[in-house]
Every structure is written in structure tokens, then in C-alpha cells.
């Protein structure tokens, strides 16, 4: 149902004439041939700043009704439907759970809802939410990382399960296994170009040297030249350190 | 630009090959070899940095020229709009 100006004006003019909200609701439904709920009426009044003086039915009365009628129903959904029909409300099972606990009503169990939940548990929430199982060789994007990961095994350990695409492809191109000290860079700075010529293996220490000498953002020279320079620097550094260690011993 | 690029690349490759061919004992006997390589390395770094400074300077000049031209164009457009307004009046 759509709320228009005529209906709002009608509510404004008739709210004083009715002694309760229930009466106003019934009159409204009769006038416009509608079947709106109590919640819908209250929300419309709130939106349009129409103050309703009287509550439809107090919570005490609702609780009393529940206490008196709980024996007539076997399932909580049935009593919920009867409750909504009787009080013209839009209550749900969550509200009933709270009422049941707060007032110790001892309402019947929601057998049908429990059965549905059990069935969903068997199906698994992954399938219910539309997730699909990834096969070996499939790509996934994780977090803010631009480079995708490739699934390589069904291992429980995440680091064994997924490998960065550039590392995976480098291993495939050159038929070698990379260690944790190796890293693969893109020579043309394009993270989507996975061609054999564009992938280059370098040590993490070389990368650190490149970063510390602020050579990472140098635009006047190509990356391979800078990497070679840093490898040279790393070589000198390692030799010096080896000599120092030997001298110390 | 191409020349420095080539110099850095070739020097680096040559020096890496040279150092890989040497053992620690040889370097200990002739420590000046490592020293010379280190000096060359520092020299090449200075070349790279100078190259980068030149590149950035050129980039800055080009940008400044571009902004000046844009400002001039905006001025001309403003004058044009004023003229058209006067014509309409």
C-alpha cells in the first residue's frame, strides 16, 4: 500500500475522533478498503509527525492472551500467526523468544522452524549463501591484494593451499621451487602482465637494498637495471660480511 | 638517458661476474679489488641519482610550462565570456 497525502490528512483529522489506535486502524481500513497492520500505521504516523495518544493494546494484555491461548497450539509459528491476526501486529519469532524468556510463558516449541534450520545445517551455510568450492588451479582474490592467488592443494594450511599467481607462474615457467627468501617482481610495474619476460626473481635482501636507497620509484631507469645494480651492491655487502666473520673467528 | 641506462646495466653485470669468480681467500689477498668495486658502485649510485634529479627537473619544467599555458588559456576564455556578455547586453 502507498501512503499519499489524502490518507495522511485523513489520519490527522480522525485521530482525535477515535478513542484508541485499534479503532483508528479499523476505521482506516474500512475507509480506504485496505488491510494494513498496526506497525505500518504507527510507522506512517511517525514519519509524518502525527502523535497517536493511545496504545493499541498494552504488552500486559498481549502476555495475558498468550498465557491463556498457549495450550491451543502445538507449534510456535501457529500461535504467532494467531497473535498477529488477533492484535493486528507484525510480531516475529524473535520477539516471541524474548517474551517467552522474560515472562516465563512456556510457549510451544517452533518445531517447523527447527526442522528447517537442521536441514540448512546439513546443506551447509557455504552452499546456502551461494559460495562454490574452489578447484585446484582456480584463482581467488583476497583482501586488498591486486595479484590473485592460485589454489594449488587441498591442504588445511592456508600458506600451502594458495600461492600468489606471479610466484606460481614463475615456478611453472622455469621449473624450479622458490624459497621464502625469493620474491617475484614485475619488471614493467604492471601487476597484470604475467608474461615470462616480465617476471623476475630477486632476493628479499636485494629488495630491501633497493627500497633503502630510494631506488624503487626511480623513473629515469628501467627496473631491471636497478635490480642488477642492487644485486651488485648486495654481493659486495655479503663478501665484506663474510670476510669480517672470518676475521673475527 | 639510454647511455646511462646501458652503462649501469653493463657495469653491474660485469662486476657481479667478476665478484662471483673470486673466492674469499683471493679477496683477502687483494682487498683493493673489493674496495675498487665498492667505489665503482658508489659512483654508479651517484650517476643514477643525478639522472633522476635531471629527470625530475625536466618533469617539473614541463609541468610548470603546462600550468602556465593552462592559466593563459583560462584567461583568454574568461575574456571571451566577458566579450560575449557585453555583446548580449
pLDDT for the residue numbered A164: 92
pLDDT tens for A177-236 read 999 999 999 998 888 999 999 999 999 999 999 999 998 888 888 899 999 999 999 999
Q: State whether A243 and B52 contact (CB < 8 Å).
A: no
Contacts of A18 (CB under 8 A, 6+ apart): A24, A27
Residue A139, beta-bridge partner list: A150
Confidence of residue A57 (pLDDT cuts 50, 70, 90): low
Q: State whether A239 and B38 contact (CB < 8 Å).
A: no
- Mean pLDDT of the A41-57 span: 77
Reply yes or no on whether the pLDDT at B32 is more than 80.
Answer: yes
Nearest CA in chain A to B28: A243
Nearest CA in chain B to A224: B9
Q: State whether B16 and A232 contact (CB < 8 Å).
A: yes
In sequence order, what DSSP letters do the residues of A108-168 get, joined into one string? PP-HHHHHHHHHHHHH-HHHHTT--PPPTT-EE--TT-SSPEEE----SSHHHHEEEHHHH
- Residue A132 phi/psi, 5° resolution? -115, 155
Residue A151, beta-bridge partner list: A162
State how far Cα B50 lies from the chain centre.
Answer: 7
Q: Could you say which DSSP state residue A72 is in?
A: G
- Residue B84 phi/psi, 5° resolution? -65, -40
Q: Spell out which residues of chain B touch residue A229, defining contact as CB-CB under 8 Å.
A: 8, 12, 41, 44-45, 48
Q: State whether A218 and B48 contact (CB < 8 Å).
A: yes
Provide residues of B within 8 Å CB-CB of chain A.
1, 4-5, 8-9, 11-13, 15-16, 19-20, 22, 24, 27-28, 34, 37-38, 41, 44-45, 48, 51-52, 54-55
Q: Spell out which residues of chain A touch residue B1, defining contact as CB-CB under 8 Å.
A: 220
Q: Up-side HSE of residue A46: CA atoms within 13 Å toward CB?
A: 6
**% of chain A beyond a pLDDT of 70:** 97
Q: Spell out which residues of chain B touch residue A235, defining contact as CB-CB under 8 Å.
A: 15-16, 19-20
Q: How far is CA A230 from CA A89, A223, A226, in A?
A: 74, 10, 6
Determine whether A224 is exposed, middle or buried from the number of CB atoms within 10 Å of its CB (0-12, 13-18, 19+). Answer: middle
Nearest to A223 by CA among A187, A190, A196: A187
Query: Contact at 8 Å (CB) between A173 and A199?
Result: yes
Nearest CA in chain B to A247: B28
Reply yes or no on whether the pLDDT at A54 is more than 70.
Answer: no
Higher pLDDT, A122 or B68: B68
**% of chain A beyond a pLDDT of 90:** 33
Characterize A147-169 residue by residue with b for buried, 16 or more Cβ atoms within 10 angstroms of its Cβ, and e for exposed: ebbbbeeeeeeeeebbbbbbbbb
**% of chain B beyond a pLDDT of 70:** 98
- Mean pLDDT of the A35-51 span: 84
* Distance between first and last Cα of chain B: 57
CB atoms inside a 10 Å sphere around CB A69: 14
Reply yes or no on whether the pLDDT at A131 is more than 90.
Answer: no
Q: State whether A236 and B4 contact (CB < 8 Å).
A: no
Spatial separation of the C-alpha atoms in residues A157 and A176, rounded to whole Å: 22
Nearest to A28 by CA among A44, A10, A16, A42: A10
Determine whether A23 is exposed, middle or buried from the number of CB atoms within 10 Å of its CB (0-12, 13-18, 19+). Answer: middle
Query: And the C-alpha cell for B83?
Result: 566579450
Reply yes or no on whether the pLDDT at A55 is more than 90.
Answer: no
Amino acid at each position: 500500500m502507498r501512503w499519499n497525502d489524502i490518507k495522511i490528512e485523513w489520519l490527522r483529522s480522525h485521530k482525535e475522533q477515535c478513542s484508541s489506535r485499534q479503532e483508528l486502524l479499523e476505521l482506516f481500513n474500512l475507509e480506504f478498503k485496505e488491510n494494513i497492520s498496526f506497525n505500518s500505521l504507527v510507522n506512517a504516523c511517525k514519519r509524518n509527525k502525527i502523535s497517536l495518544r493511545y496504545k493499541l493494546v498494552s504488552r500486559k494484555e498481549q502476555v495475558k492472551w498468550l498465557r491463556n491461548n498457549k495450550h491451543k497450539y502445538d507449534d510456535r509459528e501457529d500461535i504467532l500467526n494467531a497473535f498477529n491476526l488477533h492484535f493486528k501486529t507484525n510480531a516475529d519469532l524473535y520477539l516471541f523468544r524474548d517474551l517467552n524468556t522474560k515472562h516465563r510463558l512456556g510457549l510451544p516449541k517452533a518445531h517447523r522452524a527447527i526442522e528447517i534450520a537442521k536441514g540448512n545445517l546439513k546443506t551447509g551455510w557455504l552452499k546456502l549463501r551461494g559460495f562454490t568450492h574452489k578447484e585446484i588451479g582456480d584463482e581467488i582474490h583476497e583482501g586488498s591484494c591486486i595479484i590473485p592467488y592460485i589454489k594449488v592443494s587441498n591442504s588445511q594450511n592456508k600458506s600451502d593451499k594458495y600461492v600468489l599467481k606471479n610466484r606460481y607462474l614463475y615456478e611453472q615457467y622455469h621449473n624450479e621451487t622458490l624459497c621464502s627468501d625469493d620474491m617475484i617482481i614485475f619488471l614493467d610495474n604492471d601487476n597484470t602482465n604475467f608474461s615470462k619476460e616480465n617476471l623476475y626473481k630477486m632476493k628479499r635482501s636485494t629488495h630491501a637494498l633497493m627500497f633503502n636507497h630510494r631506488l624503487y620509484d626511480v623513473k629515469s631507469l628501467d627496473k631491471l637495471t636497478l635490480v642488477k645494480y642492487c644485486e651488485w651492491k648486495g654481493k659486495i655487502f655479503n663478501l665484506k660480511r663474510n670476510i669480517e666473520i672470518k676475521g673475527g673467528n | 638517458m639510454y647511455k646511462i641506462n646501458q652503462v649501469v646495466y653493463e657495469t653491474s653485470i660485469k662486476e657481479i661476474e667478476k665478484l662471483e669468480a673470486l673466492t674469499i681467500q683471493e679477496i683477502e689477498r687483494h682487498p683493493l679489488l673489493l674496495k675498487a668495486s665498492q667505489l665503482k658502485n658508489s659512483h654508479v649510485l651517484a650517476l643514477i641519482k643525478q639522472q633522476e634529479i635531471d629527470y625530475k627537473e625536466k618533469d617539473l619544467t614541463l609541468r610548470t610550462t603546462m600550468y602556465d599555458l593552462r592559466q593563459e588559456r583560462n584567461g583568454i576564455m574568461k575574456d571571451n565570456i566577458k566579450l560575449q556578455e557585453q555583446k548580449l547586453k
